[in-house]
């Protein structure tokens, strides 16, 4: 019997950030998928229905606010918690993130422990949010991995 594990999508144009977040969360038994730009991120959301999204604001072509808005407008994906990652610590940026529909805001450079804590907080009850077709797919994927 295999226990299902949550999948977190990390969207950041920096490979360093993607790999660090991946390494940090994998240690916590969280499956991590990554995307380097907005379009790949939206494809991953549709394909994988992650339990949580870590989304950088400054991305090539389509910024994080825009991606967040697209996800929030989709009925199937609107409940996915989105944690915005940004180097900007200003109140205006945080507010803009909130208006776009983000759940929480993490300022770069973030601390690994803080990242784990925030992710875990928003993963509570992830299985209830998951449509059945995605859950069975995830189990298959995890087994393959």
Residue ranges that bind another protein, judged by CB under 8 A: 1-2, 14-20, 23-24, 27, 87, 108-113, 140, 142-144
Q: Which is nearer to another protein, 22 or 79 (CB)?
A: 22
* Minimum distance from residue 140 beta carbon to another protein (Å): 8
Compare residues 15 and 131 and give the one whose CB is closer to another protein: 15
| Comparison of 13 and 104: residue with beta carbon closer to another protein | 13
Nearest-approach distance from CB 88 to another protein, in angstroms:
11
For the bound state, the minimum distance from the C-beta of residue 6 to another protein, rounded and expressed in Å, comes to 17
Phi and psi at residue 108, in whole multiples of 5°?
A: -80, 145
Q: Which of 43, 72, 77, 38 is nearest to 55 (CA)?
A: 38
Q: How far is the CB of 137 from another protein (least distance, A)?
A: 13
Q: Which H or E run includes 134?
A: helix 132-144
CB 107, CB 87: distance < 8 Å: yes
Q: Read out DSSP for 82-104?
A: EEEEES---HHHHHHHHHHT-SE
Helix or strand holding residue 54 (H, E): strand 52-56
Q: Which is nearer to another protein, 66 or 88 (CB)?
A: 88
């Amino acid at each position: 019997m295999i226990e299902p594990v949550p999948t977190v999508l990390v969207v950041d144009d920096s490979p360093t950030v993607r790999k660090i977040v991946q390494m940090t969360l994998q240690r916590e038994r969280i499956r991590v998928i990554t995307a380097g730009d907005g379009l790949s991120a939206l494809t991953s959301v549709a394909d994988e229905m992650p339990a949580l999204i870590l989304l950088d604001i400054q991305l090539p072509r389509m910024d994080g606010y825009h991606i967040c808005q697209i996800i929030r407008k989709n009925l199937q994906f609107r409940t996915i918690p989105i944690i915005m990652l940004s180097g900007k610590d200003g109140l205006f940026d945080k507010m803009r993130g909130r208006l776009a529909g983000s759940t929480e805001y993490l300022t770069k450079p973030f601390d690994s422990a803080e990242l784990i804590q925030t992710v875990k907080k928003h993963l509570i009850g992830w299985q209830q949010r998951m449509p059945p077709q995605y859950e069975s797919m995830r189990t298959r994927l995890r087994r393959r991995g």
